[in-house]
Structure 1
Amino acid sequence: MAESGQATRAVLVDAAGTPLGGDQEVAAWCRAEEDPGRAGAVQTLPRPLRTPAKVVIVGLGGGAADGDYRAAGAAAVGAVARDEELQVEVPAGATPEQVRDLAEGIWFAGYRFAEAPEGPRTAAVDLITSNDGYAESLSTAQAVARAVWLARDLTNMPSSTKNPAWFAGQVVAEAATRPGLTVIVREPEQLAEEGFGGILAVGGGSATPPRLVELCWAPEGATRHVVLVGKGITFDTGGISIKTRDGMKLMKKDMGGAAAVIAATLAAADLGLPVRVTALAPLAENAVSGSAYRPGDVITHYDGTTSESTNSDAEGRLVLADALGYAVANLAPDVVIDLATLTGANMVALGKGMAALYSHDDDLAAALVRAGTAAGERMWRMPLPEDYAEYLRSDIADRHSSPAQGAGSVVAALYLRDFLGDKAGSWAHLDMSAPSWSDKTTGDLVKGATGWGVRTLVRYLTA
């Protein structure tokens, strides 16, 4: 760790390379360099200036574009060694939203998996500001960062530890630290009594039985109820339709949707948001054994309808179907949003950095896109063509869960829509398989789980 007073100092510069703190020596250095002010650009001065501390110059770009301040914060953290302290001076003219972005960038990029042997990215970060009006922005950024870190920790946890019971226990423990939250955990016996056939089928092949977690934040005076549903497959072998080795090696991340909706609901409580939020996390391990469900099985869901499943590797939609049916029948939601690492087709269509968004509600879709843009999580709205619903027709059940005609992400969304009933018009589905994992450390993402969806959901709930 750097000695007291020897912290690395990050100087933010605008698109023209002008230091926002008015540091003339840094200004002189920037005039000799090309493009020093691009958002996220970093230069380390070759020698100290007046202070013996190291100085890094961090570009802020124009500062007005979504993500400029977040990129600068992340770049500042990336420019220092793990054992160094970091000081970042907040520009005097920054808006509260820009300060929030700066702090989020710092804290997102500073993440390290809680179980990893190495510590946080930096020893300490000191945001220097003379404006007391930024306190709320920093508090909000801290709550969101804490939620993102939790979602990343849950998703990064090896499945040798992370079975459905363990995940449920983590939710109970987190909720116990926050007033105003309630948790219901349904165990296998209760799932059977209440008819959660999809969850039971998918979890039936595992030695660690499934669970359904219901986490609720219900503040007094809330005027709307948002239900968040997240796919929670704690490990996915593919079941009897077993995956390849390469297809299976990252399947500890197949509960990223559940992690996101749980973490976002905890953040809603931390921030005291005036909206009722219920998170549903159907949790199961899709394993191979004599009790695993088979291709060709017909499964009866919570709402009493049936699905023919000819591919046990299309398991996520089966557990989501139960949770969606339960939400519509019992929770009186105004809005239903589900998040799931659902299909490989998401990455085929949109690449690694973008989720697929499906919704019949133009206003809801637009609100989620705005929230995602502000949060730095990209998504693209996809179609829900009615003629594709024909792909779901089954000769022996109400629907086919895994048809092979193509358009995998689209057809999966249409399948889920079946369970919304009269709430289909106020529902959105986010297929976030691709952006849920980062293969390298870049920007505000650290190699591993990204916690995708938490930022977007908190922004949406705050709007």
Structure 2
Amino acid sequence: MSLPAHFPALKAIPADLKSALSSEIIALGFVEVENADASAEKEFKLVGSTLLLKSIAETFGIDLIDELKFFTPSGKAGESFELPISAPDAKSDRLLLVGLGDQSIAALRAAGATIGRKVKGKSQSIATFCATTDSHVTAHAISATMGAYLWNLKSGPKPLKPTIYLSISTLALKRALAVSAAVWRARDLVHTPANIKTPAWVAANAKLVAKERNISIKILAGKELAQFGGLSAVGNSSRKSPPRFIEITYAPKGSSNWPHVVLVGKGITFDTGGYSLKRPYDIMMAMKTDMAGAAAVLCVVSALPELAPRVRVTALLMCAENAVSGTAQRPSDVITHFGGTTTEVLDTDAEGRLVLADGLAYADLKLKPDYLIDIATLTGAATLSLGKQYAAMYSRDDKLAATFYELGDKSGDRVWRMPLVDEYTDCLESEIADQKNIGGKSGYGAGSVTAALFLEKFVGNRKWVHFDIAGTGRSEVDAGENPKGGTGFGVRLLTTWISSL
């Protein structure tokens, strides 16, 4: 598949002097040397090929450790110090010394993000020798591209494309390219403003993915959505941007007996809150990102032909705009979801669960998957306990939850398991429908938990996991791996998990 615009060129090189000198910037990693005497001066060492490090020092006539000490480093992962260098016949004019902390995979990701940010938007080349094992180099490479991410609609000159060289195997490079390009695409989708990004626009992009990847797609609109009461109730609020149901499937020839995973993504292209209007209004400013779940599942599927897992994967994108209009749903409406379950709508700003419910019920009743996963920027309540670094995870399956927790740390998309508190289900009971869409004035105050309990009613007996990414799907600051705005959260986690099945 064609790479996103301005995506960095990732290239494999040997860990030797000739390769290092062919780049404009050479990045080397350093760590603090353990010392039993806490009062002693900190000592540091460089990481990587002893021969390469010696050759670089001799070529540029510098003592790398002495130069590093000049900056009084802390040893923290991701910190960096820049040295001007020059030598005959060397393209390199700068040396970047990057802290590797404890040399964990998380530390290598932090270092990668620093390296990516160094060349972001520039036509510069950087060769990094910070990571040594394939798993670390892959994570390092993905984070470097994430750090280099840029997106805007400015009319001036377009950002330039950097080149990132790594000592990496062909297989690891292929995986790094597939996953990082998928994260990049997801971010592009999330950042696109809602006057462009209608449900129809998302469907058109999904069609493009299906065509380029030679995978199947089905799109429903208009009267075809009659059975999808939640999606229709939310999406019919906008005549300009009516709803779409998008089903896109990775199922290579001969895969009929492979495990089947269904991913359901919330795709609210803009969320005003409906008649339960968001207040104050500036809360709406970030609501073009309310389709981050749908972006993630689409881009996961886009990466699978390269990753080639022995798993069938279907992504369901439940796309709608939640607008205020004469055709918008009202508080007190009762809607009928796919499969017949009814919901009394008390809050039109709790719309994400309404569209997800249709997708989950459709997956359970029609697709009958082995695993059913949903991902959504669902509740602000999820951020109250976990903040912006962990997504809330809900599941009844202990083994599956433990796997996702482990792979979250491994991939960088970290998750924390939250409880499905059965005692809270009574707050969703309705006198006129099967359930209400919010807990109301129950006194429980567990909005993320009750949202998950609402969704659980639609998953049957499937192995199900719900990810609430309200805190992690968007970033309020431009730092580390993430830009301000869409993060692409979930792509790394889900591709890693699917590849492990």
**Shorter-normalised TM-score: what interval?**
over 0.9
Q: Secondary structure at the match of 1:57?
A: strand
Alignment correspondent of 2:72 = 34
Alignment correspondent of 2:416 = 380
Q: Distance in 1 between matches of 2:376 and 2:23?
A: 45
Paired AA for residue 186 in structure 1: L
Alignment correspondent of 1:215 = 248
Counterpart pick for 2:210 among 159, 175, 179? 175
Q: Distance in 2 between matches of 1:13 and 1:121?
A: 31
Q: Distance in 1 between matches of 2:152 and 2:404?
A: 30
Alignment correspondent of 1:421 = 460
Alignment correspondent of 2:98 = 58
Q: Percent identity?
A: 41
Write out aligned runs for 1:436-447 (5 A): 436-447=473-484
Any idea what the Cα deviations from partners look like across 1:236-289, whole Å, max 9, x if unmatched?
A: 111111112122111101100000011111111232221000000111111111
Instruction: Give the number of aligned pairs.
Output: 449
2:340 equivalent to 1:304? yes
Q: Secondary structure at the match of 2:141?
A: helix
Alignment correspondent of 1:435 = 472
Q: Distance in 2 between matches of 1:139 and 1:118?
A: 33
- Most deviating of 329-338 and 113-122: 113-122
Deviation at 1:28, TM superposition (A): 2.7
> Residues 115 and 403 from structure 1, CA distance in 2 versus in 1: closer, same or farther, beyond 3 angstroms?
same
Q: Distance in 2 between matches of 1:340 and 1:438?
A: 15
> Residues 203 and 441 from structure 1, CA distance in 2 versus in 1: closer, same or farther, beyond 3 angstroms?
same
Q: Secondary structure at the match of 2:105?
A: coil
2:292 equivalent to 1:282? no
Paired AA for residue 217 in structure 2: V
> Residues 84 and 37 from structure 1, CA distance in 2 versus in 1: closer, same or farther, beyond 3 angstroms?
farther
Counterpart pick for 2:126 among 75, 87, 103? 87
- Most deviating of 35-44 and 291-300: 35-44
Alignment correspondent of 1:112 = 150
Q: Distance in 2 between matches of 1:88 and 1:37?
A: 21
Paired AA for residue 150 in structure 1: R
Q: Distance in 1 between matches of 2:484 and 2:127?
A: 24
Any idea what the Cα deviations from partners look like across 1:326-373, whole Å, max 9, x if unmatched?
A: 000011100101001001101112112221000000111111111211
- Most deviating of 262-271 and 160-169: 262-271
Q: Secondary structure at the match of 1:250?
A: helix
Alignment correspondent of 1:203 = 235
> Residues 48 and 291 from structure 1, CA distance in 2 versus in 1: closer, same or farther, beyond 3 angstroms?
same
Deviation at 1:377, TM superposition (A): 1.5
> Residues 172 and 190 from structure 1, CA distance in 2 versus in 1: closer, same or farther, beyond 3 angstroms?
same
Write out aligned runs for 1:403-422 (5 A): 403-404=439-440, 405=442, 406-422=445-461
2:28 equivalent to 1:11? yes
Paired AA for residue 71 in structure 1: A
Deviation at 1:182, TM superposition (A): 0.4
Deviation at 1:183, TM superposition (A): 0.3
Aligned partners of 2:230 and 2:355 also within 8 Å? yes
Counterpart pick for 1:165 among 200, 204, 208? 200
Deviation at 1:35, TM superposition (A): 3.0
Q: Distance in 2 between matches of 1:239 and 1:384?
A: 28
Deviation at 1:119, TM superposition (A): 7.5
Q: Secondary structure at the match of 2:194?
A: coil
Write out aligned runs for 1:329-408 (5 A): 329-404=365-440, 405=442, 406-408=445-447
Aligned partners of 1:19 and 1:27 also within 8 Å? no
Deviation at 1:122, TM superposition (A): 6.2
Any idea what the Cα deviations from partners look like across 1:177-205, whole Å, max 9, x if unmatched?
A: 012x100001121111xx11111100121
Deviation at 1:84, TM superposition (A): 4.7
Q: Distance in 2 between matches of 1:407 and 1:118?
A: 47
- Most deviating of 211-220 and 21-30: 21-30
Paired AA for residue 18 in structure 1: L
Paired AA for residue 280 in structure 1: L
Aligned partners of 2:24 and 2:94 also within 8 Å? yes
Aligned partners of 1:30 and 1:36 also within 8 Å? no
Q: Distance in 1 between matches of 2:414 and 2:338?
A: 33
What's the C-alpha RMSD, in Å, of the aligned pairs? 2.0
> Residues 200 and 293 from structure 1, CA distance in 2 versus in 1: closer, same or farther, beyond 3 angstroms?
same
Q: Secondary structure at the match of 1:14?
A: strand
Deviation at 1:6, TM superposition (A): 6.7
Alignment correspondent of 1:457 = 494
Q: Distance in 2 between matches of 1:382 and 1:119?
A: 46
Paired AA for residue 112 in structure 1: L
Normalised by the length of structure 1, the TM-score is 0.92
Deviation at 1:86, TM superposition (A): 2.7
Q: Distance in 1 between matches of 2:111 and 2:158?
A: 18
> Residues 461 and 388 from structure 1, CA distance in 2 versus in 1: closer, same or farther, beyond 3 angstroms?
same
Q: Distance in 1 between matches of 2:251 and 2:165?
A: 34
Q: Distance in 1 between matches of 2:152 and 2:499?
A: 28
- Most deviating of 225-234 and 81-90: 81-90
Deviation at 1:135, TM superposition (A): 1.0
Deviation at 1:444, TM superposition (A): 1.2
Deviation at 1:399, TM superposition (A): 0.5
Aligned partners of 2:120 and 2:150 also within 8 Å? no
Alignment correspondent of 2:225 = 191
Normalised by the length of structure 2, the TM-score is 0.86
Q: Distance in 2 between matches of 1:128 and 1:286?
A: 44
Deviation at 1:11, TM superposition (A): 2.1
Q: Secondary structure at the match of 2:45?
A: coil
Q: Distance in 2 between matches of 1:117 and 1:360?
A: 50
Deviation at 1:38, TM superposition (A): 2.7
Alignment correspondent of 1:136 = 171
